């Protein structure tokens, strides 16, 4: 049996059968570009698979060596990959600049960092494993644009060719000259490898006199100001001072390019992966570095606490109470994982969990309450009285005590809101209730939250909270 066959056997033992079959079929029969920087959400949608089981499938596939994970910093404007990393620990928290958009951005884990999967070269060699051999059109498709840009499967090549006036490959140390006619359009001379850009506003009366432009590519390039030129002949002298080839292309920045970049699709964000229980179980150390501070614009926190646990230990004894509390933790963790969340930590008898969206946290909270009620009915006692609080907002991902954790006022408020809860109650904030999917879940169950403004310890302003009956 080959090594690859053995790996597929391991995969089938770890993930849902349909997902394992789809991944194995992709590796064996998929095109090279299908196996480069794969979008797990698009893969699931195309094959009618569940997103969470598909994400888990690719995480397991990566953990056994079938795929390599890439953490890519994206430009929110054009969707280009500004930086690619084999681990989240090497993603810089400082500003990234997109030359094509002429903008700077501070990376956020839920908007600007995608997670993709590329087949391992030990399993199957694909063209992207040797990027210096990719032509411009494929370099753009496979390596420049992120997986959130919804590139057309049919007609992609013709679309790119309609935008390209001229392109050339220049080897290290070489010089070339392009002679072409400039159309009366806004032109971008874009070098896709170094991301160097020269903007040219072509306008005015056409000229027959040859215009000249000199471009030098090196790793220390800076953004160039927009030049003005007239429609007509131009001679572009290009020098490559880098250690690798460059692929400068003269592009028309017209409606076709803008329409292409406007088409987006969901992608697997770093934030969602950090809130995924399978990832936290498989990659405990592959999170943020100790001194990293990475921003998240929106994350939902759920805190629980077991009311009356002290009395429980007193009544049934330490060993029995410990087993009961541990069993309640397992129930909660299973529910969190099934709602696309992850348990960040347990504190005594309390749980801190994160979810990619408020509605998943609300669904988990309701299921937790029902599960505790079922345990109480089974024992005939009210041993499990769970207090739950949910809040959503921005935060910072940090590493604390060798564990992925979160810091910020959102975390503080979520913890304080849980403190308001009484036996078997769920308290959520306005940011959770404002989510239409959260409201829909409650409406479907005929649950009518009761609002109130409360003072929370350490929070200067009053916070509107909702008690879910």
Compute the Cα dihedral for 147, 150, 154, 159 and give only its sign: negative
Spatial distance between the Cα atoms of 239 and 436, rounded to a whole number of angstroms: 55
Q: How much is the pLDDT for 312?
A: 66
What pLDDT, in 10s, does the model give residues 236-269?
Answer: 999 999 999 999 999 999 999 999 999 999 999 9
Rg over alpha carbons for the chain, rounded to the nearest Å, is 27
**Is the pLDDT confidence value at 208 over 80?**
yes
Element at 320 (helix H, strand E)? helix 318-338
Q: How many CA atoms lie within 13 A of 273 on its CB side?
A: 32
**Is the pLDDT confidence value at 1 over 50?**
no
Q: Compute how many other C-beta atoms are within 10 angstroms of the C-beta atom of residue 352.
A: 20
Q: Mean per-residue pLDDT for 27-39?
A: 96
What pLDDT, in 10s, does the model give residues 116-155?
Answer: 999 999 999 999 999 999 999 999 999 999 999 999 989 9
What pLDDT, in 10s, does the model give residues 363-393?
Answer: 999 999 999 888 888 777 777 788 999 999 9
Structure tokens at 294: 């990475």
112-141 burial, b at 16+ Cβ within 10 Å, e below that, comes to bbbbbbbbbeebeebbbbeeeebebbbbbb
Per-position DSSP letters for 408-431, written without gaps between them:
SHHHHHHHHHHHH--TT-EEEEHH
**Which of 337, 395, 390 shows the shortest CA–CA distance to 362?**
390
Structure tokens at 107: 């990376």
pTM above 0.85, yes or no: yes
What pLDDT, in 10s, does the model give residues 344-369?
Answer: 999 888 899 999 999 999 999 999 99
Q: Are 468 and 421 in contact (CB under 8 A)?
A: no
């Amino acid at each position: 049996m080959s090594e690859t066959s053995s790996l597929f056997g391991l995969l089938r033992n770890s993930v849902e059968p349909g997902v394992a079959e789809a991944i194995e079929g992709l590796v064996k029969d998929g095109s090279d570009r299908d196996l480069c920087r794969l979008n797990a959400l698009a893969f699931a949608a195309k094959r009618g698979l569940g997103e969470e089981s598909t994400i888990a499938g690719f995480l397991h596939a990566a953990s056994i060596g079938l795929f390599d994970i890439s953490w890519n910093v994206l430009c929110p404007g054009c969707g280009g990959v500004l930086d690619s990393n084999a681990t989240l620990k090497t993603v810089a928290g400082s500003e990234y600049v997109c030359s094509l958009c002429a903008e700077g951005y501070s990376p956020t884990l839920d908007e600007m960092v995608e997670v993709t999967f590329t087949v391992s070269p030990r399993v199957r060699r694909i063209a992207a494993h040797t990027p210096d051999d990719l032509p411009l059109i494929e370099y753009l498709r496979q390596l420049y644009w992120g997986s959130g840009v919804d590139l057309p499967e049919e007609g992609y090549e013709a679309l790119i060719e309609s935008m390209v006036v001229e392109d050339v490959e220049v080897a290290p140390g070489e010089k070339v000259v392009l002679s072409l006619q400039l159309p009366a359009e806004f032109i971008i001379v874009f070098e896709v490898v170094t991301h160097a850009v020269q903007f040219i506003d072509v306008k005015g009366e056409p000229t027959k006199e040859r215009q000249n432009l000199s471009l030098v590519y090196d790793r220390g390039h800076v953004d160039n100001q927009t030049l003005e030129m007239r429609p007509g002949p131009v001679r572009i002298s290009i020098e490559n001072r880098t250690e690798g080839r460059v692929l400068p292309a003269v592009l028309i920045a017209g409606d076709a390019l803008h329409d292409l970049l406007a088409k987006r699709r969901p992608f697997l964000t770093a934030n969602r992966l950090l809130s995924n229980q399978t990832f936290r179980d498989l990659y405990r150390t592959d999170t943020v570095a100790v001194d990293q501070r990475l921003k998240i614009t929106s994350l939902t926190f759920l805190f629980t606490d077991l009311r009356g646990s002290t009395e429980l230990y007193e009544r049934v004894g330490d060993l029995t109470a410990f087993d009961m509390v541990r069993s309640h933790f397992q129930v909660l963790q299973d529910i969190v994982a099934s709602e696309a969340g992850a348990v960040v930590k347990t504190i005594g008898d309390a749980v801190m969990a994160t979810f990619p969206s408020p509605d998943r946290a609300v669904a988990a909270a309701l299921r937790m309450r029902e599960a505790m009620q079922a345990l109480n009915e089974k024992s005939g006692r009210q041993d499990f009285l769970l207090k739950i609080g949910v809040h959503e907002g921005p935060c910072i991902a940090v590493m604390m005590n060798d564990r992925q954790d979160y810091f910020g006022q959102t975390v503080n408020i979520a913890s304080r809101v849980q403190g308001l809860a009484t036996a078997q109650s769920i308290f959520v904030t306005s940011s959770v209730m404002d989510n239409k999917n959260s409201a829909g879940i409650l409406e479907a169950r005929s649950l009518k939250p009761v609002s109130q403004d409360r003072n929370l310890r350490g929070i200067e302003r009053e916070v509107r909270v909702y008690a879910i009956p």
